Amino acid sequence: MSELYDVAAIGNAIVDVIAQADDAFLATHGLDKGAMMLVDEARSAALYATMAPGVETSGGSAGNTIAGVASLGGRAAYLGKVAKDQLGDVFAHDMRAIGAHFDTAPLIGGPATARSLINVTPDGERTMCTFLGASVEFTADDINPAIIEAAKIVYLEGYLFDAEPARRAFAKAAGLARGAGRMLGITLSDSFVVERHRGALLGFMESQVDLVFANESEITALFETDDFDAAVNQIRSQVKLAAVTCGSRGSVIVRGDETVTIPAYPVDQVVDTTGAGDQYAAGFMFGLAQGRSLEVCGRLGSMAAAEVISHYGPRPMVSLKDLAASKGI
């Protein structure tokens, strides 16, 4: 089959509600700064009632990445489950409006579209409480082989490990991707996800995955160490290619014996770190799909991450294609 897409991604289809908060708010509600916590519908509603006025915007980690790939001019497809409701319509609109293919059937008669309540503190850190709603009703039946088999890179979100039906969908997608000779990528998503599913993630990585994205807290959680360098060396031996981000210190890319370090792009003011890792993955995979060097892939990732943390919201607000051109990447 011909390659119709640079990247096809599967993830939890989520609408973000972004509001400003202070550290005291996080403490009052027992929220761990920078982390993602799963909440049920009642807890989500109770927390929302105490939050500041918000802005609603399409989100979801892999959804943000796909928006970034499309913004870079890449051909992108997304698979994920929204409900047939207003926020689900918004999510679907935004995905198609950026030029990504999205045709997963919406859920009718079940829970509402997933919602992530994101409290952004003055330091730009985002703390997320996610009600997964309809997103966890994504099943293996929603995997369209024609899309998976037509993508250069198939990208999976670690968050999906939290739901059993989504894990089966994961396995199906991985099998189809491998069968078609496609590259399989995964993001570890969150250190708590890693804690919850360490064994399954390691097994999946070792047997199936070509490309891993992680940040510092995720990779050290994965290998149960405080030593970042040791963790990076461990992942080097586990997968063909890994890109590990370290916030303002940039990123490290490892492939076999090769190590490439990429500085972070300078940002005037960090407004909201939501989507930083997602956009790094977008830039990196877009570069990879274009056959660029690891250094260029990393620089594209850093550039996309820098754009998204300079404003509220998890998706690019300018054309990343134009931005890359203006920076000569």
Binding site for a second copy (CB under 8 A): 17, 19-20, 48-49, 51-58, 67, 85-87, 90, 93-94, 97-98, 112-113, 313, 315, 317
Least Å distance, CB 152 to a second copy, is 23
Please say which residue, 11 or 313, places its beta carbon nearer to a second copy. Answer: 313
Q: Which residues pair with 255 in a beta bridge?
A: 258
Q: Quick count: other Cβ atoms within 10 Å of Cβ 1?
A: 11
> Would residue 154 be called left, alpha or beta, if left means φ above 0 and alpha means ψ between -120 and 50 degrees?
beta
Least Å distance, CB 299 to a second copy, is 25
Please say which residue, 65 or 245, places its beta carbon nearer to a second copy. Answer: 65
Least Å distance, CB 136 to a second copy, is 19
H or E element, residue 278: helix 276-289
Distance between start and end Cα atoms, the chain: 30
Please say which residue, 72 or 244, places its beta carbon nearer to a second copy. Answer: 72
Please say which residue, 158 or 283, places its beta carbon nearer to a second copy. Answer: 283
293 half-sphere exposure, CB direction, 13 A CA radius: 9
Least Å distance, CB 160 to a second copy, is 23
Helix-strand-coil split of the chain, %, nearest 5: 45, 20, 35
Task: Please report the DSSP string for 142-207 in residue order.
Answer: G--HHHHTTEEEEEEEGGGGGSHHHHHHHHHHHHHHHHTT-EEEEE---HHHHHHHHHHHHHHHHH
Please say which residue, 115 or 152, places its beta carbon nearer to a second copy. Answer: 115
Please say which residue, 115 or 236, places its beta carbon nearer to a second copy. Answer: 115
Dist CA 216 CA 253 (whole Å)? 13
Least Å distance, CB 284 to a second copy, is 21
Least Å distance, CB 119 to a second copy, is 12
Least Å distance, CB 225 to a second copy, is 40
Please say which residue, 57 or 208, places its beta carbon nearer to a second copy. Answer: 57
**CA dist 46 → 22, 72, 88, 116 (Å):** 18, 38, 21, 13
